[in-house]
Structure formats: structure tokens, C-alpha cells
Amino acid sequence: MPHGFDKLLHHEPQSSPSPPPRRKSTQSRYHLHIRQQPLAARACGAGDRDRRPVDPPPIVQILLSDFDSESQDDRDMLQDPRFTVGCLLFPVPDSSNPIQDDQNPEREGDGVARADDDFFTPLLSGKAFMSPFYVDADPDPNSAPTHPSFEYSQSPSEPAGPSNLRNASKLHQPATFFIFVDLSIRTAGTYRLQFRLMNWGSVEDTGQSMPILAEAWSDPFRVYPAKDFPGMQDSSILAEGLKELGFVELKTRGKGKGKGGRGMEWINELGRPNFCFLSKISICNQFGI
């Protein structure tokens, strides 16, 4: 046998350099951020004529970890029309046992509410699934969140540095929203909404259930009996901007034009319901004042 031929017959592959670390899976990049929280609603009947939408309409935004606005791939990902966000309603227990984010009830992974779920109650009507609405530039950059980073955080956060630099980085930032303008709740009480991001393209024609890509929970909000409802609040800059950009289903109200002329009085400085003011309204309604 020629010298060295045995090495060809019994070749031992040389160790190759380890490949560069792969980025985390695409699904792990997705996050949901609630840009506009629901604050109140008037309880409505079962018929379509008595529908009263949650106010203000919840607006949910999709965020991508390590998003690069200069990357066409990242922009294409935001523009995927196969995204959908579903909404579920959950009553909030009494104050002695509030729902916490780390105590959310365990759910099935297909985005379908189970009839035997102790927390779920079928009181939500309207459009509970929304398609994405993409814009080339966020209409309210001052309130826009920062896309999270794998290196530092898995949740939206503000970057360090002067505020003018933060705002400048958000100018002309593309964004994708899911706008829930037609949600109604039939029974008075305190509730939270759960939003779930899905992409039906990932399971198209496979017969499989859609995986949940991201979740977000709203703050607790109150649904009032008709006689106690304090009225609709003025539209936000974000809502007005989205309507101007083409989301015509949004009904906007100018400053001071909320129902009953109450404007923003019933919202405190933290953007939460002013329960002292609401109590006064309830008393006045009871005595016909």
C-alpha cells in the first residue's frame, strides 16, 4: 500500500472552528406593548344597538428584540400581514387577591379560551381579533417605547442618555399596531384584558394550532352601570395620528369634547381613573343633580 494511503481510507476529519453563535429563535424576538390602556367602559346589553366600546380603545404595538430600523428584513417582519392579536377578558378578584403578572392562570397554547377556565367569562363582545396596521413613522414618538435588547432586557425600556437623544432615535421609527375599537363588556365589574400575538402563516394548511408568540396584560379597569358611567375621554395624540394615517375606524374626540363635557376630569395625573371624581358623579346621578 502506498505510503500515506491508509490515512485516506481512515480519514479523521480535522476539528473545525465552532460556528458563530446563532441568534435566538425568531419567535423569541416578539413582544407586545400596550401603547394605550383601557380605562373604563359602560356595561352594555346583548344586542348590537346597545354596544358601548371600551374607552379609550386599547392600542397594542408589536416590538422586536434588537430591532434595526435600517434592516429591510426587520421592516418586512413588522409588515407581515399574517400577524393577528387576540383579546381575552378576565375579571379581577377582590383587592385581597389581585391578579399579578406572575400569577396569570395557565392557558392552553393555541389562543383559544377554554369553557372550563375559572377566570374566563364570556362577557366580551365585538372584534376580539385584530389585523396589523403598519405605519412608516410612529405618530406619537414622544410616547413610543424602545425596542428591547437581548443583551440588556426582554421588555421595552428607555435607553440611557439625554431625553432629546431618546426622542430623536424614535423619529420616523416604523411601527405596527393592533387597534381594538370595537370591544364591549356586558356586565359591570373590574377586569383586565389579555392580548396574544399569533401568526397564522406559521401553521397555514398544517392543521396545527397557532403558537402564542407574545402576551401582554392590560391594567385593571372598571366597567360601570349606565347611570354611573362618567363619559368618554378625549382622544390621545396617538389615536388622532393613527386615524390621520388611515385607520378610519377610530372615532376621535377633541379636547374638552368628551361626552357630557367632562373632558379629562375623571382621569388623574397618572392617567388612571379619578375615583374621587367618579364617586361625586355617582352621587349626583342618584339624586338627580
Domains of the chain: 25-227 (2.60.40.3960)
Q: Extract long-range pairs of 72-79: CB within 8 Å, 24+ residues apart.
A: 75/174, 77/26, 78/134, 78/174, 78/175, 78/176, 79/132, 79/134, 79/176
Cα 115 to Cα 118, 120, 121, 158: the distances in Å are 8, 7, 8, 39
Which of 183, 234, 221, 219 is CA-nearest to residue 44? Answer: 183
Q: How far is residue 158 CA from its own chain's centroid?
A: 18
Cell numbers linked to 212: 402564542
Query: Which residues fall within 8 angstroms of residue 114, CB to CB, at 6 or more apart?
Result: 107, 108, 120
- DSSP of 244-272, one letter per residue? HTT-TTPPP--TT-SGGG-TTTTB-TTSS
- Residue identified by cell 443583551 is 151
Q: Is 22 helix (H, G, I), strand (E, B) or coil?
A: coil
Q: How many CB atoms lie within 10 A of CB 15?
A: 6
Are the CB atoms for 196 and 212 separated by under 8 Å? yes
Tens digits of per-residue pLDDT, 227-250? 999 999 999 999 999 999 999 899
207 vs 142, residue with greater confidence: 142
- Give the model confidence (pLDDT) of 57-115 as tens digits: 999 999 999 999 999 999 999 999 999 999 999 999 876 554 444 444 444 333 333 33
Question: Is the pTM for the entire model greater than 0.85?
Answer: no
Question: Per residue in 202-229, pLDDT tens?
Answer: 777 677 778 999 999 999 999 999 999 9
